[in-house]
Amino acid sequence: MKVFEKFRLAIKKSDSLVCVGLDTDIKKIPQFLLKEKNPMLAFNKRIIDATSDIVSAYKLNSAFYESQGLAGIETLMETRKCIPSDVIAICDAKRGDIGNTSKMYAKSAFEIMGFDILTVNPYLGTDAVAPFLEYEDKGVFILCLTSNPGAYDFEIYGKEPIFKRVASFANEWNKKYGNCGLVVGATMSDFLSDIKGIAPELPWLVPGVGAQGGSVEDVIKYGGENLVINSSRNIIYASSEENFAEKAREEALKLKDEINRHRKNI
Protein backbone atom coordinates (compact mmCIF):
# COMPACT_ATOMS: atom_id res chain seq x y z
CA MET A 1 0.00 0.00 0.00
CA LYS A 2 1.27 3.45 -0.92
CA VAL A 3 1.83 5.55 2.18
CA PHE A 4 -0.63 8.27 1.21
CA GLU A 5 -3.32 5.65 0.66
CA LYS A 6 -2.69 4.66 4.27
CA PHE A 7 -2.78 8.37 5.10
CA ARG A 8 -6.27 8.76 3.65
CA LEU A 9 -7.50 5.56 5.29
CA ALA A 10 -6.26 6.83 8.66
CA ILE A 11 -8.22 10.05 8.16
CA LYS A 12 -11.34 8.15 7.15
CA LYS A 13 -11.15 5.65 10.03
CA SER A 14 -10.70 8.31 12.71
CA ASP A 15 -12.81 10.98 10.94
CA SER A 16 -10.01 13.26 12.01
CA LEU A 17 -7.39 15.52 10.45
CA VAL A 18 -5.59 15.91 13.78
CA CYS A 19 -1.90 15.12 14.03
CA VAL A 20 -0.50 15.14 17.56
CA GLY A 21 3.04 16.47 17.78
CA LEU A 22 5.01 14.47 20.32
CA ASP A 23 7.62 17.20 20.82
CA THR A 24 8.34 15.85 24.26
CA ASP A 25 10.50 18.04 26.48
CA ILE A 26 11.74 16.28 29.61
CA LYS A 27 11.52 19.62 31.45
CA LYS A 28 7.81 20.02 30.70
CA ILE A 29 6.36 16.59 31.39
CA PRO A 30 4.52 16.01 34.71
CA GLN A 31 6.96 15.73 37.55
CA PHE A 32 5.51 12.49 38.91
CA LEU A 33 6.66 10.71 35.74
CA LEU A 34 10.31 11.37 36.58
CA LYS A 35 10.26 8.33 38.86
CA GLU A 36 9.66 6.12 35.81
CA LYS A 37 12.57 4.24 34.24
CA ASN A 38 12.00 6.19 31.02
CA PRO A 39 9.89 9.27 31.79
CA MET A 40 9.63 10.50 28.18
CA LEU A 41 8.49 7.12 26.92
CA ALA A 42 5.97 6.76 29.74
CA PHE A 43 4.59 10.21 28.87
CA ASN A 44 4.39 9.46 25.15
CA LYS A 45 2.78 6.07 25.63
CA ARG A 46 0.01 7.49 27.81
CA ILE A 47 -0.66 10.29 25.32
CA ILE A 48 -0.87 7.78 22.47
CA ASP A 49 -3.09 5.40 24.44
CA ALA A 50 -5.46 8.27 25.24
CA THR A 51 -5.72 9.72 21.73
CA SER A 52 -4.98 7.11 19.05
CA ASP A 53 -8.66 6.53 18.20
CA ILE A 54 -9.36 10.22 17.53
CA VAL A 55 -6.30 11.25 15.50
CA SER A 56 -4.92 10.24 12.13
CA ALA A 57 -1.21 10.86 12.75
CA TYR A 58 1.56 11.48 15.25
CA LYS A 59 4.59 13.64 14.46
CA LEU A 60 7.78 13.16 16.43
CA ASN A 61 10.27 16.00 16.18
CA SER A 62 13.61 14.21 16.35
CA ALA A 63 15.44 17.13 17.97
CA PHE A 64 13.63 16.62 21.27
CA TYR A 65 14.93 13.06 21.36
CA GLU A 66 18.40 13.57 19.90
CA SER A 67 19.03 16.18 22.60
CA GLN A 68 18.86 13.37 25.17
CA GLY A 69 21.68 11.38 23.58
CA LEU A 70 21.50 7.62 23.05
CA ALA A 71 18.67 7.26 25.54
CA GLY A 72 16.67 9.79 23.57
CA ILE A 73 17.20 7.94 20.29
CA GLU A 74 16.01 4.75 21.98
CA THR A 75 12.94 6.64 23.22
CA LEU A 76 12.22 7.87 19.70
CA MET A 77 12.33 4.32 18.37
CA GLU A 78 10.31 2.87 21.24
CA THR A 79 7.68 5.60 20.85
CA ARG A 80 7.39 4.73 17.17
CA LYS A 81 6.56 1.15 18.18
CA CYS A 82 3.71 2.43 20.38
CA ILE A 83 1.89 4.06 17.46
CA PRO A 84 -0.86 1.78 16.09
CA SER A 85 -0.25 0.39 12.62
CA ASP A 86 -3.31 2.15 11.18
CA VAL A 87 -2.16 5.60 12.36
CA ILE A 88 0.48 7.53 10.42
CA ALA A 89 3.88 7.96 12.09
CA ILE A 90 5.79 11.03 10.92
CA CYS A 91 9.42 11.76 11.74
CA ASP A 92 9.96 15.50 11.70
CA ALA A 93 13.71 15.77 11.09
CA LYS A 94 13.84 18.06 8.04
CA ARG A 95 16.62 16.04 6.45
CA GLY A 96 18.32 16.93 3.17
CA ASP A 97 21.91 16.68 1.97
CA ILE A 98 23.95 15.47 -0.99
CA GLY A 99 22.79 12.18 -2.44
CA ASN A 100 24.93 9.70 -0.49
CA THR A 101 24.15 11.43 2.80
CA SER A 102 20.43 11.58 2.01
CA LYS A 103 20.51 7.82 1.42
CA MET A 104 21.78 7.33 4.95
CA TYR A 105 19.18 9.71 6.41
CA ALA A 106 16.47 7.82 4.51
CA LYS A 107 17.73 4.46 5.74
CA SER A 108 17.74 5.73 9.32
CA ALA A 109 14.19 7.08 9.24
CA PHE A 110 12.54 4.38 7.15
CA GLU A 111 14.48 1.16 7.69
CA ILE A 112 15.92 1.52 11.17
CA MET A 113 13.21 3.55 12.90
CA GLY A 114 10.30 2.46 10.74
CA PHE A 115 8.54 5.78 10.21
CA ASP A 116 5.90 6.13 7.49
CA ILE A 117 6.79 9.68 6.45
CA LEU A 118 9.80 11.97 6.89
CA THR A 119 10.00 15.75 6.56
CA VAL A 120 12.62 16.72 3.99
CA ASN A 121 14.40 19.97 3.18
CA PRO A 122 14.58 20.46 -0.63
CA TYR A 123 17.24 23.19 -0.57
CA LEU A 124 19.91 20.99 -2.22
CA GLY A 125 17.65 20.03 -5.10
CA THR A 126 16.36 16.95 -6.87
CA ASP A 127 19.36 14.67 -6.34
CA ALA A 128 19.17 15.30 -2.59
CA VAL A 129 15.45 14.56 -2.38
CA ALA A 130 15.37 11.50 -4.65
CA PRO A 131 16.87 9.01 -2.13
CA PHE A 132 13.90 9.63 0.18
CA LEU A 133 11.32 9.34 -2.59
CA GLU A 134 12.79 6.06 -3.83
CA TYR A 135 11.25 4.24 -0.85
CA GLU A 136 8.03 3.28 -2.62
CA ASP A 137 6.07 2.37 0.51
CA LYS A 138 7.22 5.45 2.44
CA GLY A 139 6.57 9.16 1.97
CA VAL A 140 8.04 12.61 2.35
CA PHE A 141 6.63 15.95 3.34
CA ILE A 142 8.71 18.58 1.53
CA LEU A 143 9.26 21.86 3.37
CA CYS A 144 7.40 24.31 1.17
CA LEU A 145 6.09 27.22 3.24
CA THR A 146 6.82 27.04 6.94
CA SER A 147 4.96 28.72 9.79
CA ASN A 148 7.88 30.62 11.36
CA PRO A 149 8.54 34.36 10.83
CA GLY A 150 11.85 33.58 9.12
CA ALA A 151 9.94 32.10 6.19
CA TYR A 152 9.90 35.64 4.79
CA ASP A 153 13.70 35.65 4.56
CA PHE A 154 13.84 33.12 1.74
CA GLU A 155 10.61 31.21 1.11
CA ILE A 156 8.40 34.21 0.34
CA TYR A 157 11.09 36.64 -0.86
CA GLY A 158 11.14 38.16 -4.34
CA LYS A 159 8.92 38.27 -7.40
CA GLU A 160 9.03 34.49 -7.82
CA PRO A 161 9.04 33.18 -4.24
CA ILE A 162 10.93 29.98 -3.55
CA PHE A 163 7.87 28.30 -2.04
CA LYS A 164 6.16 28.36 -5.45
CA ARG A 165 9.13 26.71 -7.11
CA VAL A 166 9.30 24.11 -4.35
CA ALA A 167 5.59 23.33 -4.79
CA SER A 168 6.09 23.00 -8.55
CA PHE A 169 9.06 20.65 -8.19
CA ALA A 170 7.27 18.59 -5.55
CA ASN A 171 4.31 18.24 -7.88
CA GLU A 172 6.60 16.85 -10.59
CA TRP A 173 8.39 14.53 -8.15
CA ASN A 174 5.02 13.18 -7.11
CA LYS A 175 4.11 12.37 -10.71
CA LYS A 176 7.17 10.11 -10.83
CA TYR A 177 7.16 8.62 -7.34
CA GLY A 178 3.61 9.08 -6.02
CA ASN A 179 4.68 9.62 -2.41
CA CYS A 180 5.30 13.34 -2.01
CA GLY A 181 3.48 15.90 0.14
CA LEU A 182 4.13 19.42 1.39
CA VAL A 183 4.70 21.13 4.72
CA VAL A 184 2.45 24.20 4.62
CA GLY A 185 2.25 26.54 7.61
CA ALA A 186 -1.18 27.54 8.87
CA THR A 187 0.11 31.03 9.63
CA MET A 188 0.63 31.68 5.91
CA SER A 189 -3.03 31.97 4.91
CA ASP A 190 -2.33 34.60 2.22
CA PHE A 191 -0.43 32.02 0.18
CA LEU A 192 -2.37 28.79 0.74
CA SER A 193 -4.42 29.16 -2.44
CA ASP A 194 -1.22 29.65 -4.47
CA ILE A 195 0.17 26.34 -3.27
CA LYS A 196 -3.11 24.53 -3.90
CA GLY A 197 -3.17 25.92 -7.42
CA ILE A 198 0.35 24.72 -8.18
CA ALA A 199 0.07 21.27 -6.60
CA PRO A 200 -3.64 20.50 -6.15
CA GLU A 201 -3.30 16.78 -5.42
CA LEU A 202 -0.47 16.84 -2.91
CA PRO A 203 -1.29 16.15 0.76
CA TRP A 204 -0.25 18.67 3.38
CA LEU A 205 1.27 18.52 6.81
CA VAL A 206 0.13 21.74 8.47
CA PRO A 207 1.97 23.15 11.50
CA GLY A 208 1.22 26.51 13.06
CA VAL A 209 -2.27 25.96 14.51
CA GLY A 210 -2.69 26.49 18.23
CA ALA A 211 0.24 28.13 20.00
CA GLN A 212 1.41 29.81 16.76
CA GLY A 213 -2.02 31.23 15.99
CA GLY A 214 -2.78 29.76 12.57
CA SER A 215 -6.38 29.59 11.36
CA VAL A 216 -8.08 26.20 11.06
CA GLU A 217 -10.78 27.79 8.91
CA ASP A 218 -8.28 29.08 6.35
CA VAL A 219 -6.42 25.77 6.21
CA ILE A 220 -9.58 23.82 5.45
CA LYS A 221 -10.89 26.48 3.06
CA TYR A 222 -7.81 26.31 0.87
CA GLY A 223 -6.35 22.90 1.66
CA GLY A 224 -9.43 20.71 1.69
CA GLU A 225 -9.30 17.34 3.43
CA ASN A 226 -6.12 15.79 2.06
CA LEU A 227 -4.08 17.03 4.99
CA VAL A 228 -3.32 16.71 8.68
CA ILE A 229 -3.15 19.63 11.07
CA ASN A 230 -0.48 19.32 13.70
CA SER A 231 -0.81 20.53 17.27
CA SER A 232 1.86 19.84 19.85
CA ARG A 233 2.02 21.99 22.97
CA ASN A 234 -1.70 22.72 23.21
CA ILE A 235 -2.44 19.01 23.38
CA ILE A 236 0.41 17.25 25.10
CA TYR A 237 0.92 19.89 27.81
CA ALA A 238 -2.75 20.50 28.52
CA SER A 239 -2.11 19.43 32.12
CA SER A 240 0.90 18.79 34.32
CA GLU A 241 -1.08 16.66 36.74
CA GLU A 242 -1.79 12.93 36.80
CA ASN A 243 -4.73 13.49 34.47
CA PHE A 244 -2.47 14.84 31.71
CA ALA A 245 -3.42 12.12 29.23
CA GLU A 246 -7.14 12.67 29.73
CA LYS A 247 -6.68 16.41 29.30
CA ALA A 248 -4.63 15.79 26.16
CA ARG A 249 -7.53 13.77 24.79
CA GLU A 250 -9.93 16.61 25.58
CA GLU A 251 -7.78 19.10 23.69
CA ALA A 252 -7.36 16.75 20.74
CA LEU A 253 -11.14 16.31 20.62
CA LYS A 254 -11.65 20.07 20.71
CA LEU A 255 -9.34 20.49 17.74
CA LYS A 256 -10.95 17.57 15.91
CA ASP A 257 -14.42 19.06 16.44
CA GLU A 258 -13.28 22.52 15.31
CA ILE A 259 -11.72 21.09 12.17
CA ASN A 260 -14.75 18.95 11.39
CA ARG A 261 -17.08 21.95 11.69
CA HIS A 262 -15.13 23.62 8.91
CA ARG A 263 -14.93 20.40 6.86
CA LYS A 264 -18.73 20.49 6.58
CA ASN A 265 -18.44 23.79 4.70
CA ILE A 266 -16.25 22.58 1.86
CB 247 within 8 A of CB 238: yes
The residue from 13, 35, 59, 94 that is catalytic is 94
Specify burial of residue 70 (Cβ count, 10 A radius: 0-12, 13-18, 19+): exposed
What radius of gyration do the chain's Cα atoms show? 18
Spatial distance between the Cα atoms of 3 and 15, rounded to a whole number of angstroms: 18
Spatial distance between the Cα atoms of 3 and 18, rounded to a whole number of angstroms: 17
Is 94 designated active site?
yes
CB 195 within 8 A of CB 170: no
Strands annotated E in 104-174: 117-120, 139-145
Please give the positions annotated as active site. 94
